[in-house]
Structure 1
Amino acid sequence: MDSDIVTLAGQQALWTALLVGGPMLVVLLVVGLAVAVLQALTQIQEAALAFVPKLVALAVVLLVGGPMAAGALRGFTEEIFAQVVAVGGLR
């Protein structure tokens, strides 16, 4: 029974990591691909052109999706603590 709880906690941890990090990774992938195509078309190989748009996109994603990510992390933490108490870890 305890191994089932540990397995479920691991599954929840992976799902939470996907919910928190997934949107950021997808946006950075799309922006990076767009910048790479732009650089290939124009033959401009400027390092700042590759870095600054990704930084701006990440800032926008964090501003928009930050509360959702914090809520997901909070819910995961509450669930883990509830499972610890249910198992009898805190007396």
Structure 2
Amino acid sequence: MADTTLYDTLRQGLWVAVVISAPLLGVALAAGVAIGLFQALTSVQEATLTFVPKVAAMLAVFWVSMSFMTATLVSFFTDRIVPLIAGG
């Protein structure tokens, strides 16, 4: 395998990781900002108030976007990894 093939596959793999993780990270960011704003406005500093809603929001988004994530990974694997393993 040539160096360029390896680096291109790594680049594509990292891009797939970014695309797959973007919905979860975006929701975690938005929920964290909203909860932080709520805590700052109400002066409620409860630890579970930051953790539980963020986890619930991330689980909901994960459940909704699971088919997208699976399709993206399967596409990367069948289009890029399998031909490399087969020697193409």
| Structure-2 separation of matches of 1:67 and 1:37 | 32
Secondary structure, in 3 states, of the residue corresponding to 1:44?
A: coil
TM-score (norm 2): 0.91
Alignment of 1:1-91 (within 5 A): 2-78=2-78, 79-87=80-88
Shift of 1:55: 1.1
Higher mean Cα deviation, 70-79 or 41-50? 70-79
Q: What is the deviation of 1:56?
A: 1.1
| 74-83 or 55-64: bigger deviation | 74-83
Query: What TM-score do you get using the length of structure 1 for normalisation?
Result: 0.88
Q: Alignment RMSD, CA only?
A: 1.3
| Equivalent AA in structure 2 for residue 82 of structure 1 | P
Query: 1:73 is aligned with what amino acid?
Result: L
Matched residue type, 1:31: A
Q: Which moved more, 1:29-38 or 1:78-87?
A: 78-87
* Distance in 1 of aligned mates of 2:5 and 2:71: 22
Deviating 4+ runs (over 3 angstroms) = none
**Percent identical across equivalent pairs?**
33
**Unaligned regions of 5+ residues in structure 1, if any?**
none
Deviation per CA, 1:45-70, whole angstroms, max 9, x where unpaired? 01111011101101111111011001
Once the 2 structures are TM-superposed, how far is the Cα of residue 86 of structure 1 from its aligned partner?
2.8
